Amino acid sequence: MAKVTFKSALHQDKSSYAVAGSHKQTILQLARENHIPIDFGCENGECGTCLVKVTTLDQTRPMGGPLNPRETAVLKEMGKISQSQIDQMLVDDIPPSPWRLACQMILRDEDVLVEYPSE
């Protein structure tokens, strides 16, 4: 079972457990279920409002697969990933940077720290 810790400068840290093996629960869904105030808009990987920083705490290779095309395009437009990182992602088959869209990242069976903006 994945332990997900949400962290923000303005809120107390909170840990929650993602459903093991659901393969469809996103960071944003888990946050909303636990009243974590991550901003969001489209919920479809198009607006970038739900930008978060995700760090794997297991000291292992991140389990998430490559970003989907919408998330890739938005993160590139926001300057959070470069074209060379995108090219490398397609070779390595892992996310290229800690920046993710909470509405697009599916939680895997790994412990992660999710840092979200505090405005």
Q: Give the footprint of ligand FES on this chain (CB under 6 A).
A: 40-43, 45-50, 101, 103
Q: How far is the CB of 30 from ligand FES (least distance, A)?
A: 14
> Beta-carbon neighbour count of residue 81 at 10 Å?
21
Q: How far is the CB of 89 from ligand FES (least distance, A)?
A: 18
> Beta-carbon neighbour count of residue 14 at 10 Å?
15
Our CB check for ligand FES shows the closer of 2 and 52 to be 52
Our CB check for ligand FES shows the closer of 103 and 107 to be 103
Angle at 35 between CA 32 and CA 40, to 5 degrees: 45
CA gap 80, 85 in Å, rounded: 10
Our CB check for ligand FES shows the closer of 12 and 50 to be 50
Contact in structure between 38 and 7 (CB atoms under 8 Å): no
Q: How far is the CB of 103 from ligand FES (least distance, A)?
A: 3
